Amino acid sequence: MVLGKPDAISREEDTGTPYWSYSTTDPVDGWLMVFMHDGILIGIRLILKTPLRKEDITRLFGPDFVVVHYDLDECLGKGGAAPTFVSLNGPIETWEYRGHGNGLVISVHNGLAEEVSFDCGPTGPPKSKCQSRSRVHNP
């Protein structure tokens, strides 16, 4: 993959994962974050400068997404972000295109898309790993 010289090289605040950051203008204005681990691409995230409506997302990627909710597995948190799991009433909403490679995930806040992630693995397990959690749902 050739992206040129990054605008910045940094580490994700909660996980310490290194990433390279690039400014984008096409197809949307934003910042592209490229995550690597031991020289292997593990994910790409596009932070949108201006949140997009559902209609904009379906124009860019198509209508074949599923709405999935996640919750935090608090018992596994280490003083910052905690891993997530699929939860019917979870506060974290995503629009997921599961037929696009390993996972095209749109992060949503107040009905608007704020971030697009291209992940090389699942976003979260189908149930909590904390024994006290009962809010489990498989979409």
Tell me which of 5 and 40 has the higher pLDDT: 5
* Mean local confidence (pLDDT), 70-77: 78
pLDDT the model gives residue 1: 47
Q: Which of 55, 43, 46, 33 is nearest to 112 (CA)?
A: 55
At 96, list the tokens: 């997921």
By three-state DSSP, how is residue 24 classified?
Answer: strand
pLDDT at 78 over 50: yes
Confidence at residue 39, expressed as pLDDT on a 0 to 100 scale: 80
pLDDT for residue 52: 93
Contacts of 121 (CB under 8 A, 6+ apart): 42, 102, 103
Contact present, 30 and 18 (Cβ < 8 Å): no
| Domain range annotation of the chain | 9-119
Please tell me which residue, 102 or 138, carries the higher pLDDT value: 102
pLDDT of residue 85 exceeding 50: yes
Confidence check: pLDDT of 96 > 70: yes
**Residue 117, C-beta contacts closer than 8 angstroms, at least 6 positions apart:** 43, 44, 45, 46, 103, 104, 105, 106, 107, 123
